[in-house]
A and B are shown apart, each in its own frame.
Chain A
Amino acid sequence: MTAKTLYDKLWDAHVVRYEDDGTALLYIDRHLLHEVTSPQAFEGLRLAGRSPWRVDTAVAVPDHNVPTLAPQHEIADPVARLQVETLARNVSEFGITFFPIGDARQGIVHVMGPEQGATLPGMTLVCGDSHTSTHGAFGALAFGIGTSEVEHVLATQCLLQRKMKNMLINVDGVLGTGVSAKDMVLAIIGQIGTAGGTGHAIEFAGEAVRALSMEGRMTVCNMAIEAGARAGIIAPDQTTFDYLKGRPLAPQGALWEQAVKAWQALYSDADAHFDRELFIDAASIAPQVTWGTSPEMVLPVDARIPDPADLGDKVKADAARRALEYMGLRAGMAIHEIPIDKAFIGSCTNSRIEDLRAAAAVVKGRQRAAQVKLAMVVPGSGLIKQQAEAEGLDRIFREAGFEWREPGCSMCLAMNADRLEPGERCAATSNRNFEGRQGQGGRTHLVSPAMAAAAACAGHFVDVRDLI
């Protein structure tokens, strides 16, 4: 039998049939829905008189538009309110499992899924959101889709897909103290670029990846899309099974035993073929800070901003020049000289309990710098918020002058009321530093939770390793 990668195994197990040209009809085991990319899909079903194929595979939650200040029910923006109400109406009409605002299980769709055990190894999992790659941390084939595909999955439980290529990113060695999964994935993106993984499913492996908690693995897979890869995958192991055991939607009893046995076969065979392989030494990774308007414009915290003229390639140099202008920065400036106006700790990349603990550990005994107007912490779900409060993390943040908010996507993409004003500069634990991403004219620097907390207390970027 030919050796297979983990991606090959997941793919083969879900092919219903092939078209003559190799396009596959791929079966989907889990479909997560949120309010922004689903209304037109439900409307499409209704217009065509079609009913969902298997509603028991779908779980829905509002997250993008949800206010992070209580009372969350009162969405001031009528357009956003209509979208959230439309989701509630659609799930009720079609009978889909739903966690509304006010339910402790509500939160960012990519936090809620794993937390509820809706994400399991060996699954195909899709959602109308590019950060669906997050769920690959469990050894699932998980990728983001557009609204037409959301409708396609609702109607047929399948998607028409071409098989992607296999890419392996092997991170060996041990991450230094104060260096996190976020720094690992930012360093990878810095190395391969935002199109480096295009057309590929990336498997993350190696000693440093194995050593990550499920939270850390989710952070890494979450940003596979920022490297251009629709899917990131990590082979499931005991860490995965321990995380999932007893979660509400995970199998129980004899089914659990049977499932774990099957999941233990989900790994890349020793001699499996990868179209691309990349080897990285974890010990070489320093805390990372982005300086531009693409996640690939990233540097270690002790570096200086490059001169676009030194970048060679004209398209790259033009992009860097444009980025520096937008960001209000100049070539040669040290990263630690960059002052910030706001800090945002949250998003599907970094809003889980471990992220909040890492940020709180830095904040404890310190204060938000006077020149930092706002430092906000937005837990990924109501359950994470409860757990953080039980551990006293909310008190640490509040005493340091940070705001402790209700769960949602918040200032990662600023669809709700949380946003940057033009020219404001933010240390953000989210995933995209695109122009206007956090608010028109806003300037985003992507960092880890500990680095965002450190910048909020110092007023500018600092090497968190000097603080711990």
Chain B
Amino acid sequence: MNITDLNKKEVAKIISLSDIDKLFTKRLMDLGIYESATVVMLNKLSSNRLYIIEVDDVEICLRKEDAEKIEVKK
């Protein structure tokens, strides 16, 4: 499953980032989004096109197409 499959308030662990270019991976990593990080789904906005997640106490807004590439495990 990926991040978009999580329901609100659900917690999961990131297991892989697939098919994301190097530069964007680095930016994700800067914000703590990387394998073994714990994510909480906080909110789905803009008709489920944008996702607000929490990683390391930071709230981050992601687009659907990017969130789909982040595999998680509950």
Pairing of A with B: no
